[in-house]
């Protein structure tokens, strides 16, 4: 890619310079305790931060967390992330109580060479996500004042036209961090000439979220395996009743059309685990995909489906997986996701796991991360990359 990267910046020398790093530290938090339940995204930026620290930069990290509405909201504070980041870096991380206010200014001013600061959630400020160029630009001016150079390592946010991602690089010398570089290298292998068969597994709850990527992949992939909540809209399109399963009625016709155009390349579940309720202790059984009882909802793909998907995956040379196959957070409905994930690790293929949720599923199920070719930190970002869309954060680095 025609983008300068961290090595170019390090070669110029960063000792004593303030380097503003946009990271994606949007990690899942436990709703009750507020604790970080998966720190994968924090670990993913360590190579970039570590290199800058070693080179003696004053490292100013910024990120969003969740979707606060442009004002401070304590449940979305990055403070717990600062603590975890400090543990992983084995060095204190100076936390600023605001993003561009007095606390941020003094925190940045007081940084010594090789020290790290984390600013409070970018989305506590209206300007970060504003659709108004001037409002975003004004916020970007304030952020850019904290750096002599800018590093984008927030792959999970490169599809957002936000101030910290899109407008700040227009104001500072800018480079891609190690994570962004690696993510783009890997994903470009999938959009270029993937080794065949190329098999894609898609899950997650909504067809509408995945429609664009399905459209883009259909002509490219050899097999598209569909599970997760979105499979029920496809099953309905096949003429099956789906009980009280998740259903996007307005997408049924679209799914029917996709199935017709796919020439048999879309594989759907043949059996599902159907339950009385969306609860870990709900009564449940494996049923045929065309025999879901009217009072039940499908919460996972069934074992015969897992076997069929595994057979397709065992032939693959390239695999992309996004989205869980069922409600893996509840033990009775985790087997589908686990089975598919294991089949991916066993295949003699270059495999990419896309997405915050699927990556978290891999770790939550205790699977060995190193048995996958690459685990992307970006959900929406990796899908939009595969759709062939221009990603604002990448485009800004190219300029
Ligand atoms: C993500 O979790 O997908 C990224 O951090 C982007 O977050 P967003 O979807 O709220 O912009
Ligand atoms: Mg998202």
Return the pLDDT at 359.
86
Alpha-helical segments (H) within 347-376: 356-364
Ligand 1 mutation target, pool 22, 23, 24, most atoms within 8 A of CB: 24
Give me ligand 2 centre to Cα 172, in Å: 27
Nearest atom of ligand 1 to the alpha carbon of 156: 4
Is 206 among the residues known to form the active site? yes
- Contact between 122 and 164 (Cβ < 8 Å): yes
Report, in this order, helix, strand and coil percent for the chain, each rounded to 5: 45, 15, 40
Ligand nearest to the CA of 24: 1
List the structure tokens of 91. Answer: 């060095």
The verdict on whether 356 is a catalytic residue reads yes
Instruction: Name all residues whose Cβ lies below 6 A of ligand 1.
Output: 24, 26, 67, 156-157, 160, 356, 379-380
Distance CA 239, CA 322 (A): 26
Pick from 138, 111, 116: nearest CA to 127: 138
Atom of ligand 1 nearest to the CA of 162: 11
Task: Tell me the C-alpha distance between 316 and 88, whole Å.
Answer: 36
Rounded CA-CA distance 158/255 in Å is 29
Do the Cβ atoms of 274 and 280 come closer than 8 Å? Answer: no
- Three-state secondary structure along 97-140? CCCCCHHHHHHHHCCCCCCEEECCCHHHCHHHHCCCHHHHHHHH
What does DSSP say about strands 284-288 and 374-375: parallel, antiparallel, or unpaired? Answer: unpaired
Q: How many residues does the chain have?
A: 399
User: Which of 22, 23, 26, 37 gets mutated to test ligand 1 (max ligand atoms within 8 A of its CB)?
Assistant: 26
Find the 14 Cα to ligand 1 centroid distance in Å: 30
Nearest to 235 by CA among 269, 204, 273: 269
Q: Looking at ligand 1, which residue's alpha carbon is closest to its atom 4?
A: 156
Q: Which of 235, 229, 228 is nearest to 325 (CA)?
A: 228
Q: Which residues contact 6 (CB under 8 A, 6 or more apart)?
A: 48, 51, 52, 151, 175, 176, 177, 178, 181
Residue ID of nearest Cα to ligand 1 atom 7: 157
Nearest atom in ligand 1 to the alpha carbon of residue 24 is 5
Question: What spacing in Å lies between the alpha carbon of 135 and ligand 2's midpoint?
Answer: 23
- How many whole angstroms separate alpha carbon 17 and alpha carbon 57? 5
Q: What is the pLDDT of residue 360?
A: 81
Ligand nearest, relative to CA of residue 356:
1
User: Active site includes 67?
Assistant: no
Sign of CA dihedral 348, 349, 352, 358: negative
pLDDT of residue 236: 98
Cα(243) to centroid(ligand 1), Å? 32
Cα separation, 93 vs 215, whole angstroms: 44
Q: Please pick, among 227, 378, 380, 393, the residue that the annotation labels catalytic.
A: 380
pLDDT for res 28:
92
Cα–Cα distance measured from residue 383 to residue 216, given in angstroms and rounded to the nearest whole number = 10
CA distances from 31 to 75, 76, 118, 323 (A): 9, 11, 23, 21
| 249 CA distance to ligand 2 middle (Å) | 23
pLDDT along the chain (399 residues), means of 10: 91 98 96 92 97 98 98 97 98 98 98 98 98 98 98 98 98 98 95 95 92 93 97 98 97 97 96 98 98 98 98 98 95 97 97 86 90 94 94 96
Closest CA to 277 of 236, 330, 342, 231: 330
d(CA 58, CA 148): 10
Question: Pairing state of beta strands 18-23 and 149-153?
Answer: parallel
């Amino acid at each position: 890619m025609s983008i300068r990267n961290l090595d170019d910046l390090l070669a110029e020398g960063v000792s004593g310079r303030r380097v503003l790093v946009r990271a994606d530290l949007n990690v899942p938090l436990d709703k009750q305790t507020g604790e970080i339940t998966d720190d994968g995204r924090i670990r993913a930026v360590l190579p970039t931060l570590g290199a800058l620290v070693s080179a003696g930069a004053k490292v100013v990290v910024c990120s969003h967390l969740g979707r606060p509405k442009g004002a401070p909201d304590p449940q979305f504070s990055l403070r717990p992330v600062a603590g975890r980041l400090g543990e992983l870096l084995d060095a204190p991380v100076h936390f600023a109580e605001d993003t561009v206010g007095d606390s941020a200014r003094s925190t940045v001013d007081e940084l010594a060479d090789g020290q790290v600061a984390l600013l409070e959630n970018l989305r506590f400020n209206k300007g970060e996500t504003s659709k108004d160029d001037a409002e975003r630009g004004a916020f970007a001016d304030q952020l850019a004042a904290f750096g002599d150079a800018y590093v984008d390592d927030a792959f999970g946010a490169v599809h957002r036209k936000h101030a910290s991602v899109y407008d700040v690089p227009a104001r500072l010398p800018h480079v891609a961090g190690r994570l962004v570089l690696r993510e783009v290298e890997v994903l470009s292998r999938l959009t270029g000439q993937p080794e065949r068969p190329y098999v894609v597994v898609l899950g997650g709850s909504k067809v509408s979220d995945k429609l664009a990527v399905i459209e883009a992949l259909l002509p490219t992939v050899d097999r598209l395996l569909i599970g997760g909540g979105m499979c029920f809209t496809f099953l309905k399109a096949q003429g099956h009743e789906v009980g009280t399963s998740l259903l996007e009625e307005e997408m049924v016709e679209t799914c029917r059309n996709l199935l017709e155009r796919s020439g048999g390349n879309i594989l759907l579940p043949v059996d599902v685990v159907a339950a009385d309720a969306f609860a870990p202790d709900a009564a449940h059984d494996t049923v045929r995909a065309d025999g879901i009882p009217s009072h039940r909802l499908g919460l996972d793909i069934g074992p015969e489906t897992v076997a069929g998907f595994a057979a397709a995956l065992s032939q693959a040379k390239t695999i992309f997986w996004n989205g869980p196959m069922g409600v893996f957070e509840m033990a009775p409905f985790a087997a589908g996701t686990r089975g598919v994930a294991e089949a991916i690790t066993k295949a003699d293929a270059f495999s990419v796991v896309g997405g915050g949720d699927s990556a978290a599923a891999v770790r939550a199920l205790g699977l060995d991360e190193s048995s996958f070719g690459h685990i992307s930190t970006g959900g929406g970002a990796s899908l939009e990359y595969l759709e062939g869309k221009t990603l604002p954060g990448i485009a800004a680095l190219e300029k």
